[in-house]
Structure 1
Amino acid sequence: MATSTPIERLTETEAWRLLGGAAVGRLATVINRQPDIFPVNFVTDGTSVVFRTAEGSKLLQLTVNARVAFQADDWDDITGWSVVVKGTAEEVTDPADLDRVESLPLRPWVATVKTHFVRIAVDEIEGRRFVFGDEPEAEIDTSA
C-alpha cells in the first residue's frame, strides 16, 4: 500500500466494510457517572451494530443513558485500522425486529445466557487506517 502519510481517514463505506468483518468490539458507556468499556462480540446490520447481553449493569445503564460509543480494530505487522461509531443503544423489543436479529449470525462469545439483543443506531462513524513503522526524526527549528 503506497501512502504519503502513516494515517489515512477511511471513507464511510470502507469503515462499515471493516467494521462488518470484525468479530469483537468495545462498547463505551457511562455507568454511575463513570466511563466504562465492555468487550462484546457483535454484527453489523445495515447501518447499526447489534450485540447480545445478559441482565445486569450494562443493560440497565443503557436504559438510563442510551448514548454510546463503540470501537473495533484490527492489525498485523504492517498496518492496522480502527473504526469508532457513536449512536443510541436500545434493547430490541419489537417482535418483528426481534425475529430478525435472532436470525443474525450472532452467538454468545462466552458460555453464558444472553437473552437481550441491543441495537446501536449509528449516527456517526469514523475510521482510520495506520501504516506502522519507525518513528521519524523530529524536525528541530534552528531559526530562533
Structure 2
Amino acid sequence: MEEVSILDEDQCWNLLSESVMGRLALAVNGEPEIFPINAYAHDGKILFRTGEGTKLSEIAVNGRCAFETDGFTSKIGWSVVAKGTARILTGTQEIMAADQLPLKPWIPTLKLNYVEIDVEQITGRRFRFGDEPDRYPV
C-alpha cells in the first residue's frame, strides 16, 4: 500500500455512508466557517438536521458548501470531501421521508430543520501511517 492512495467514487460513498460525524464548511458573511455535524449519506446526497442559527441562515443565502469526514486506526487513515449545494427541505412529503431516516440529534436539543446536500463532487484519500523518512540519508 502506498503512503497516500486516491479513493474512487464508490469507495468514497462507502466510507461516507458508514460515517456519522463530519464537518460542514460554509462561507458566513464572506468568511470561511466550519461546523461539526452528524449526518446521513444516501442516494448521492448528505442529509443533516439543524436548529435555527448561523448554518441555516447562511444556507438560505448561499447553499454552496463542502462536507468532510474522516477516520483512522493506528495504521491507516482516510478522508472524504464532498462538495455541492445545500438546500433546506420545505415540502411536507420530503420532510416526512427524512423523518424516517436514521438521523437523530446527538444532543438533547430540537433540530427541526432538515438540510440536504446535493453532492456534485466527491474525493477521498487513504493514508498509510509510518515513521518519517530520514531527512538526511547517509
TM-score over 0.5 (shorter chain)? yes
**Number of residue pairs matched by the alignment:** 137
Aligned to 2:126: 129
Q: Partner of 1:109: helix, strand, or coil?
A: coil
Q: Secondary structure at the match of 1:104?
A: coil
Paired residue for 1:28, among 11, 21, 25? 25
Distance 1:134 1:57 in 2: 41
Q: What CA deviation, in whole Å up to 9, does each residue of 1:88-111 have, x standing for no partner?
A: 000011222111111000000111
Unaligned runs of 5+ in 1: none
Q: Which runs of 5+ in 2 are unaligned?
A: none
What is the distance in 2 between the residues matched to 1:96 and 1:12?
29
Mapped partners of 2:108, 2:116: distance in 1? 21
Take 1:139 and 1:46, find their aligned partners in 2: how far apart are those partners? 49
In 1, the alpha carbon distance for the partners of 2:125 and 2:30 equals 29
Identity across matched positions, percent: 42
User: SS state of the match for residue 108, structure 1?
Assistant: coil
Which residue identity lines up with residue 117 of structure 2 in the other structure?
Answer: I
* Shift >6 Å, 4+ stretches: none
Q: Is the 8 A contact 1:40 1:109 kept in 2?
A: no
Listed as ranges, the matches of 1:25-104 within 5 Å are 25-104=22-101
Output the TM-score relative to the length of structure 2: 0.95
Hey, what's the Cα distance between the residues in 2 that align with 1:38 and 1:130? 24
Separation in 1, partners of 2:86, 2:34: 14
Q: 1:131: how far off? A: 0.4
SS of equivalent to 2:43: coil
TM-score relative to the length of structure 1: 0.92
Structure-2 separation of matches of 1:31 and 1:56: 11
CA RMSD in angstroms comes to 1.1
What one-letter code is carried by the residue in structure 2 that aligns with 1:46? Answer: D
